[in-house]
């Protein structure tokens, strides 16, 4: 059974696949922008100013997830199963929570600016930016929770393009930290305005914070939110550790390794955003078989996308870093490889199914247990191996957490861990990704790649894609591609039935 695509729950595969592709396309653009902006900034700003830019995004990338406490994500659960009146109340309550979170973010950032030497150089503008960024992050959830994926895509693309144009424009024109910060403030100000208007229109001026629905929403969101916060801190602890122990310019070098982490966002988060409302609906119908199969299919989709990317970047890490950020940043390649290994471990997620099964408290307990272990490993690694050792904390945490979560799933479902995923096809996917990497690597080692570094990487990427596509077919995985993405998208990719 584990090695045959299940047909009983695939009627929505095409629709879900199209939604994943649509939202994933917007996320690809955002991923490219997250790479493009630092590529430009590192070439026109001083090492310290670039370090300040990366420090700002370390703060802005951490606080929204921590302070949200799961409230925006709770909309995925409540909106699909609520009438319009209750849905409006839930949205208004999330907006009120995020407004309070914005004030807390301002206070936390102000303390950091005052007590940390590098923080003082960020300036008061950083406090305003982080505060507004926390509130505006609600906009990233609002439309997809209503399953209006097409609107979410347009909103995401609009702000991604606005950000790249203004930030890069400011960097090229002035090459200074104050100008880049001013561009960020303009973008986040516009996003706050759009978010406020969207909430107002959805609520239609009728909804108010209701004590009963607020308690209900917090009871659902808090265990998941605290778990997510602890998970986020575990994933970022190495960067905070390096930012605290090393200079601003050294942190700038270390932080470029994290520029590849949006690959996980492109795959895991995009898929989760699409299927969480579906999981919520299945849970309301007590369809545990459907929930499990939807989780397995989503992980198959993630594995199909993320593992060939991991294999290629692992093989070509030094060359990619040299091309993107100049050769002096090639030293971050070992950190990149540790990050990618962590990403691969977390690709086969079971937490989203456990969330739908109301296991938020258990997830919170696991993350609370794992976080101090990860901190200890990261600190010890930094002492022994320097900055590279700090990245080992997140790797250790990911391994321990996955073992505990899969054991919990097996206990609750009454099924074995072997039934949690399509392990056979997934193993063959790993082989296909590895074979594709070997194809591009052999072409490099034999000296058959022509041109400069950019041309060689482009040719290697093409060879990698061809090798992966061929390996999928030779290993008999065409049917599993169709199972993951539906007939229409699979046919476009050359995997017709």
74-102 per-position pLDDT tens digit: 888 888 777 788 888 888 899 999 999 99
Distance in angstroms (rounded) separating the CA atoms of residues 57 and 206: 36
Residue with more model confidence, 279 or 422: 422
- pLDDT at res. 290: 79
List the single range of 209-223, 271-285, 347-361 with lowest mean pLDDT: 271-285
Residue 93: closest CA among 70, 112, 63: 70
Q: Are 355 and 218 in contact (CB under 8 A)?
A: no
Residue with more model confidence, 13 or 450: 450
Residue 481 neighbours by CB under 8 Å, 6+ apart:
304, 472, 490, 493, 495
Q: Are 477 and 425 in contact (CB under 8 A)?
A: yes
Quick one: pLDDT band at residue 298, thresholds 50, 70, 90?
A: confident
Inform me whether the pLDDT recorded for 408 exceeds 50: yes
- pLDDT at res. 9: 44
DSSP assignment, residue 3? T
Neighbours of 194 (CB within 10 A): 16
Distance in angstroms (rounded) separating the CA atoms of residues 351 and 371: 16
Neighbours of 150 (CB within 10 A): 12
Structure tokens at 241: 């550790």
Distance in angstroms (rounded) separating the CA atoms of residues 93 and 142: 12
- pLDDT at res. 303: 87
Inform me whether the pLDDT recorded for 13 exceeds 70: no
- pLDDT at res. 204: 67
- pLDDT at res. 445: 75
pTM > 0.95: no
Distance in angstroms (rounded) separating the CA atoms of residues 48 and 444: 35
Neighbours of 116 (CB within 10 A): 14
Structure tokens at 54: 């990366």
- pLDDT at res. 470: 93
Quick one: pLDDT band at residue 485, thresholds 50, 70, 90?
A: confident
Domain positions in the chain are: 13-492
Inform me whether the pLDDT recorded for 119 exceeds 80: no
Residue 238: closest CA among 353, 385, 99: 385
Burial-class residue 412 by CB neighbours within 10 Å (0-12, 13-18, 19+).
middle
Distance in angstroms (rounded) separating the CA atoms of residues 261 and 26: 16
Give the containing element (helix H, strand E) for 268. none
Burial-class residue 124 by CB neighbours within 10 Å (0-12, 13-18, 19+).
exposed
Quick one: pLDDT band at residue 386, thresholds 50, 70, 90?
A: confident
CA-to-CA separations, 308 to 23, 237, 400, in angstroms, rounded? 20, 27, 24
Neighbours of 173 (CB within 10 A): 11
Quick one: pLDDT band at residue 14, thresholds 50, 70, 90?
A: low
Structure tokens at 214: 């607020």
Neighbours of 9 (CB within 10 A): 17
- pLDDT at res. 271: 73
Q: Are 48 and 121 in contact (CB under 8 A)?
A: yes
DSSP assignment, residue 88? H
């Amino acid at each position: 059974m584990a090695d045959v695509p299940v047909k009983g729950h695939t009627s929505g595969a095409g629709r879900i696949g199209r939604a994943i592709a649509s939202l994933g396309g917007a996320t690809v653009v955002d991923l490219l922008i997250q790479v493009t902006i630092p590529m430009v900034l590192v070439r026109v700003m001083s090492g310290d100013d670039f370090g300040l830019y990366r420090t700002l995004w370390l703060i802005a990338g951490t606080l929204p997830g921590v302070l949200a406490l799961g409230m925006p994500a709770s909309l995925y659960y409540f909106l699909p199963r609520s009438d319009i009146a209750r849905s409006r109340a839930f949205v208004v309550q999330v907006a009120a929570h995020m407004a309070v979170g914005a004030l807390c973010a301002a206070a936390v950032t102000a303390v950091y600016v005052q007590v940390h030497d590098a923080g003082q150089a960020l300036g008061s503008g950083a406090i305003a930016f982080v505060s507004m960024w926390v509130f505006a992050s609600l906009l990233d959830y609002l439309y997809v929770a209503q399953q209006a994926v097409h609107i979410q895509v347009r909103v995401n693309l609009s702000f991604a393009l606005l950000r790249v144009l203004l930030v890069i424009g400011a960097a090229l024109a002035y090459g200074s930290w104050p100008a880049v910060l001013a561009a960020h403030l303009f973008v986040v100000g516009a996003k706050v305005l759009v978010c406020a208007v969207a909430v107002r229109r959805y609520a239609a001026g009728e909804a108010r914070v209701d004590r009963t629905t607020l308690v209900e929403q917090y009871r659902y969101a808090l265990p998941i939110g605290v778990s997510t916060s602890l998970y986020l801190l575990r994933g970022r602890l190495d960067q905070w550790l390096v930012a605290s122990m090393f200079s601003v310019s050294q942190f700038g070098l270390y932080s470029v390794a994290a520029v590849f982490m949006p690959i996980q966002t492109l795959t895991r988060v995009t898929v989760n955003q699409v299927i969480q409302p579906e999981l919520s609906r299945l849970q309301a119908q007590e369809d545990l078989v459907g929930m499990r199969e939807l989780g397995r299919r989503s992980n198959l989709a993630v594995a199909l996308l993320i593992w060939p990317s991991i294999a290629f970047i692992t093989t070509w890490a030094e060359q990619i870093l040299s091309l993107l950020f100049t050769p002096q940043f090639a030293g971050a390649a070992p950190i990149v490889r540790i990050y990618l290994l962590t990403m691969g471990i977390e690709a086969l997620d079971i937490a989203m199914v456990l969330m739908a099964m109301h296991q938020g408290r258990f997830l919170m307990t696991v993350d609370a247990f794992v976080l101090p272990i990860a901190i200890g490993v990261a600190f010890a690694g930094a002492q022994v191996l320097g900055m590279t050792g700090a990245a080992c904390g997140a790797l250790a945490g990911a391994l321990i957490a996955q073992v505990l979560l899969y054991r919990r799933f097996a206990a609750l479902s009454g099924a074995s861990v072997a039934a949690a995923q399509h392990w056979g096809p997934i193993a063959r996917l790993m082989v296909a990704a590895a074979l594709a990497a070997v194809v591009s690597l052999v072409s490099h080692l034999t000296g058959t790649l022509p041109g400069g570094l950019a041309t060689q990487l482009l040719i290697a990427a093409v060879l990698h894609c061809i090798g992966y596509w061929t390996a999928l077919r030779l290993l008999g995985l065409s049917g599993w591609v169709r199972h993951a993405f539906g007939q229409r998208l699979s046919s476009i990719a050359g995997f017709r039935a």
